[in-house]
Amino acid sequence: MGVNMTQAVKGNGRPIIARDLVRNFGRTVAVDHLSFEVRAGEIYGLLGPNGAGKTTTVKMISGLLPPTQGEVEVFGFD
């Protein structure tokens, strides 16, 4: 069974939705209540200093790292 990405994007027009993402490593807060949406056709970049949570955010979006709190949908899948 395959996933038709065109249909998944057209479903809500937002390929990536992040809601209230939090990621802790022990007592260290790496990402603190981050929410955003990327609409079809948009291009975003993550900018910030070392240790700002950029890589952690990308890992949560890609499913490599579960958020401590919040949820991510990519093409309608969480």
Q: Based on the structure, what is the number of domains in the chain?
A: 1
Whole domain around residue 41: which residue ranges?
5-74
Cross-strand pairs, 34: 21
Q: What pLDDT does 13 receive?
A: 82
In this predicted model, what pLDDT tens digit does every residue of 10-65 receive, in sequence order? 557 889 999 999 999 999 999 999 999 999 999 999 999 999 999 999 999 999 99
pTM, two decimal places: 0.81
Please report, for the domain that includes residue 50, its CATH number: 3.40.50.300
In our burial notation (b when 16+ CB lie closer than 10 A, e otherwise), range 46-56 reads eeeeeeebbeb
